[in-house]
Amino acid sequence: MYNPKCETMPREELRQVQLERLQSTLNRVYRNVAFYKTAFDGHGVNLERIKDLQGIRELPFTTKNDLLKSYPYDMFAIPLRDIVRIHTTSGATAKPIVVGYTQNDLRNWRECAARLLTAAGVTQQDVVQIALHYSLFADGFGFHQGAERIGASVIPASLATSVAKQIVIMKDFKTTVLASTPSHALNIAAGLMEAQVPPERLSLRLGLFGGERWSDPLRRQIEERLGITSIDTYGPTEILGPGVAGECHLRHGLHINEDQFIVEVVDPKTLAPVPMGHEGELVVTTIMKEGFPLIRYRTGDITRLNPEPCACGRTFLRMERIIGRTDDLILVRGVGFFPSQIEEIVREFDGISPYFQIILDQEGGLDTIQVRVEISENLPSLDEVKAFESLRLQIAARIKEVLDVEAKVILLEPGSLRQFTGGSERVLDRRPG
């Protein structure tokens, strides 16, 4: 255990610590962040009435939309000059959520990531290859800092390295731990097969995965094809990045770093708290963050909490692996986007009707995305096959440019998609699990 004193804290002590940290966070955001002052005042919240952890329920929720509207810095609780790092969420929308970290935020993040890696079984003997974004997104950095903190040897392979090269590194550098998205792990597995490298010839023993929802069958597939034990982690960038929660070696749910976060599960429709252990939307309040604190943030992720003590000795609550999403955010290979963004892109092109359909599927375990669009009736030079092909490729290139997603674009006859106007009908998810 990385920090046994903290991770095995008796629940009663933890409640006191959480309450103190919640109260001071609330006092601070009320003073420093206009959004929260307006929100609390608007809901008639008297912060002094929040005298126990249940009191958190009197506070209004914060949504992803609120954060998007705060672009770029309106949610920061500290002047920009005190921010030492800036990350953004992935291209989920045209303008991302901008997240600022202070020196202390980075320190706590390192600590959380170090706990997560230690719980997974990573030690200073390990060689950790990080095949994640090292860019605006927080993913790679979270694992990187945590692994350095516990003294492992870190290879920042990133996603700029091709799969083939990734495999060479893995083999030659004797990588023991891989950190990536589940779908990228499958890319690597496919690459191994292509290069005729059986997993037994690698030193790989452990994989840490996050950044997208992955089913249990997919999990088994990754474990088999890479010959590893897999560990699920949770950490949206807007909350912190990798390190919010993670499985211990027993792999029965993800321990939440409750000294840093207060979690609730609510019914996504009524927003009322569900009974402990029931399914609902995960709501997170940060209680140690200085730069970008969040109060009752609706993650959109569906899960359940498990209050049973874990055999590993940690007293922190566990959440189940993410079951689903409340909204229609589409996650493909670690990149998230909304159908509305596809719509925006499609609308940019002349000769295309606003009707479209997104079909998600899997091929050989990898996510595929197909965007079907309809030609409008008044498209000139209809008979030009070359023009069609060029239009098709232009749309695909634009999607790649804006969303960083490799989509297959299919053009259809006018009128063939008109029935798919509703939000949910426009997306067909055929992926297993």
Partner 1 sequence: MLKILNLDAGYGALRILKGISLHVAPGEAVAVIGANGAGKTTLLKTLAGVLKPREGQIVFDKQDILGWPSEKIVARGCCLVPEGRHVFSSMTVRENLLLGAYCRRRENDAANLQESLEQVYALFGVLKERSNQLAGTLSGGQQQMLAIGRALMSRPRLLMMDEPSLGVAPLVVRDIYETIVTLKRHGLTILLVEQNARAALAVADRGYVIETGQIVLQGPSRQLSDNPEVQRAYLGKEYRSIDE
Indicate the residue among 102 and 175 with the shorter CB distance to partner 1.
Answer: 102
* Smallest gap from residue 47 Cβ to partner 1 (A): 8
Indicate the residue among 3 and 153 with the shorter CB distance to partner 1.
Answer: 3
Cβ neighbors of 338 (< 8 A, separation 6 or more) are: 92, 93, 327, 328, 329, 330
* Smallest gap from residue 105 Cβ to partner 1 (A): 10
* Smallest gap from residue 119 Cβ to partner 1 (A): 21
Indicate the residue among 31 and 418 with the shorter CB distance to partner 1.
Answer: 31
Q: Residues 59, 36: contact at Cβ < 8 Å?
A: no
Helix (H, G, I), strand (E, B) or coil at 22: helix
For 413, counting Cβ atoms within 10 Å of its Cβ (0-12 exposed, 13-18 middle, 19+ buried), the class is exposed
Indicate the residue among 28 and 392 with the shorter CB distance to partner 1.
Answer: 28
Q: Residues 146, 195: contact at Cβ < 8 Å?
A: no
* Smallest gap from residue 82 Cβ to partner 1 (A): 4
Residues that bind partner 1 (CB under 8 A): 16-17, 19-21, 23-24, 27-28, 31, 47-48, 51, 78-79, 81-82, 102-104, 107-108, 288, 290
Indicate the residue among 28 and 225 with the shorter CB distance to partner 1.
Answer: 28
* Smallest gap from residue 405 Cβ to partner 1 (A): 39
Indicate the residue among 47 and 271 with the shorter CB distance to partner 1.
Answer: 47
Indicate the residue among 58 and 429 with the shorter CB distance to partner 1.
Answer: 58
For 381, counting Cβ atoms within 10 Å of its Cβ (0-12 exposed, 13-18 middle, 19+ buried), the class is exposed
- How far apart CA 398 and CA 402 sit, in angstroms, is 6
Closest CA to 260 of 16, 22, 3: 22
DSSP for 134-177 reads: -SSSSHHHHHHHHHHHTTPEEE--TTTS-HHHHHHHHHHTT--E
* Smallest gap from residue 24 Cβ to partner 1 (A): 5
Q: What is the dihedral of CA 401, 155, 126, 170, to 10 degrees?
A: 70
* Smallest gap from residue 27 Cβ to partner 1 (A): 5
* Smallest gap from residue 38 Cβ to partner 1 (A): 19
Strand 366-375 versus strand 229-234 pairing type:
unpaired
Buried b (16+ CB within 10 A) or exposed e, 49-64: ebeebebbeebbbbeb
Indicate the residue among 170 and 288 with the shorter CB distance to partner 1.
Answer: 288
